[in-house]
Amino acid sequence: MRDIIVKDLSFAYEKDKWILRDISMTVEAGEFVCILGQSGCGKSTLLRLLAGLEHPGSGTILLDGSPIKGASLDRGVVFQDYGLFPWMTAGENIMLALEQRFPREDRGRLKAIALENIRRVGLDEPVYSKLPKELSGGMKQRCAIARAFSINPSVLLMDEPFGALDAVTRAHLQDLVSALWARTDPKKTVFFVTHDVDEALLLASRIFVLGQSPSHIIYECSIPEDHRPTRKTQFEDPEILKMRNTLIREINKDVSARIED
């Protein structure tokens, strides 16, 4: 089932200077989870731990019952800065990941997979031969998403992937990721880091809110499949508006408590 269990997770970059403290969550395979919180609260650090790029100071992270001990192509990562090698074309960036993921597969077949995913994210095939400097920010992020979906990971980790984009491009890519997740069978488990409450409500089936560092989960909620908002209803549905106000209130309450301290 590829469920993820995080139990009593704590992490510090320096001794006794905790970034995360006693984080616990159980995420079922196929959930779209948004990690929500203010800048500096440890959201990206949690994602790096899930990716295996950092190791817990204490506690455990289990994927399908086994501890995560390092990076794996079974977990795809999409970064805010795209993560594309500038000296390689968009296609070569995707092919590099595919060749690592499927080392015995015919190169022609891998190129077909790369081109298929370039089309899936709404780009034309000629983008395959373009360098990142020839692409807009939105196109580069589409290429990064295409690369992540090409290697077909069961878990997709997205670290504020749209934070540097303009509002229109951001909306297009939010809809794209949501549609790709909904159409994939079986659904991928997605962890999506954001500090935007509206983005979290639009995308997530479940939301975890992290407090200020040393961070722990201060609030969580689920959004039923039959009640997920659309771009048209997210500011009209009374239940979604109530949830939005609750999320904002919990974040502000945590900030106020830290200021008073």
Identify the pLDDT of residue 185: 81
Residue 75 Rama label (left phi>0; alpha psi -120 to 50; beta): beta
Q: Which domains does the chain have, with CATH numbers?
A: 1-74+154-161+190-198+207-261 (3.40.50.300)
The CA–CA distances, whole Å, from 32 to 35, 187, 196 equal 10, 9, 15
Identify the pLDDT of residue 214: 86
The CA–CA distances, whole Å, from 56 to 11, 49, 53, 155 equal 5, 7, 10, 19
Sequence-distant (≥ 6) Cβ neighbours of residue 24 within 8 angstroms: 6, 7, 8, 9, 59, 217
pTM: 0.91
Identify the pLDDT of residue 164: 76
Identify the pLDDT of residue 184: 84
Distance, in Å, from the CA atom of 43 to the CA atom of 213, rounded to the nearest integer, reads: 10
Identify the pLDDT of residue 1: 56
Identify the pLDDT of residue 208: 97
Tokens of 236: 């009209």
Identify the pLDDT of residue 224: 86
Identify the pLDDT of residue 261: 60
Identify the pLDDT of residue 107: 93
For residues 94 and 146, is the Cβ–Cβ distance under 8 A?
A: yes
pLDDT single digits (tens) 203-237: 999 999 999 878 999 999 999 888 888 888 888 99
Buried b (16+ CB within 10 A) or exposed e, 100-121: ebbeeeeeeebeebbbebbebb
For each successive 10 residues of the chain (261 residues), what is the average pLDDT? 89 88 94 92 93 93 92 87 90 94 93 93 93 93 91 92 85 89 88 94 95 90 88 89 94 79 60
For residues 169 and 201, is the Cβ–Cβ distance under 8 A?
A: no
Q: Which residues pair with 35 in a beta bridge?
A: 193, 208
Distance, in Å, from the CA atom of 226 to the CA atom of 215, rounded to the nearest integer, reads: 32
Distance, in Å, from the CA atom of 138 to the CA atom of 170, rounded to the nearest integer, reads: 8
